[in-house]
Amino acid sequence: MKIGIIGSGVVGQQLGLGFLRIGHEVKIGTRDTLKLTEWKQKAGANASVGSFADAAAFGEVIILATLWGGTKSAIESAEKDNLKNKILIDITNPLDFSQGVPPKFAVEIGNSGGEQVQKWLPDTKVVKAFNTISAYIMISPVREEGGDPDLFIAGNDENAKKQVTQFAAQLGWKSIVDMGDISQSYWLEAFAMLWIQYGFKFNNWTHAFKLMKK
């Protein structure tokens, strides 16, 4: 399958490598293709780079991996028609860095980042996922010390969530928890704030969450 990634930071690069590893073709969209020269060399023949619109047109499934402040403009640059009827995995977190770190939470209940992305792209199947974990352990996430973490997802389209669940399983996730429709993005993003606050407090970015069901 062809995977288009909008956003060329560490998250986009790491997930790109993960999808390549499980047999997909990947194109990363960026504002500056030169910054991905090293990534392209490492990624191999099934990897390519281009503009946001190039990645959106290329992908059968899209990954949105931008900083929140640039998310809407990135979507506009990608062009909505290129995203129509496609699954879009929204990894963004609505963070406000204007007062430094740790960042502030930039949304309110009923207007989460995931809900805003879905409003901007009404004909796209948005699934919030991978936003509560470090880029470096989105792939093969099992922690030797703590076992298998949980991946939380949310979205309106059931088939889209099934596809994202399959991808996650291929990337090494053993426990994927479907939290419901896209409105549940608020809680996933708020949960990410707990992850972020812990990271800044203890200078540890390899932690993950496990929901104890019994």
What does the pLDDT read at residue 79? 97
| pLDDT for position 212 | 86
The pLDDT score that the predictor gives to residue 136 is 86
Classify domain 2-202 by CATH architecture. Answer: 3-Layer(aba) Sandwich (3.40)
Supply the pTM of this predicted model. Answer: 0.96
Across 167-184, average pLDDT: 96
Contact 32, 91 (CB under 8 A): no
Q: Mind listing the pLDDT tens digit for each residue in 111-149?
A: 999 999 999 999 999 999 999 999 988 988 876 666 789
Buried b (16+ CB within 10 A) or exposed e, 113-139: bbbbbbeebeebbbbbbbbbbbbebbb
Residue-level pLDDT at 146: 64
Query: pLDDT for 7-47, tens place per residue?
Result: 999 999 999 999 999 999 999 999 999 999 999 999 999 99
Phi, psi of 69 (to 5 degrees): -60, -25
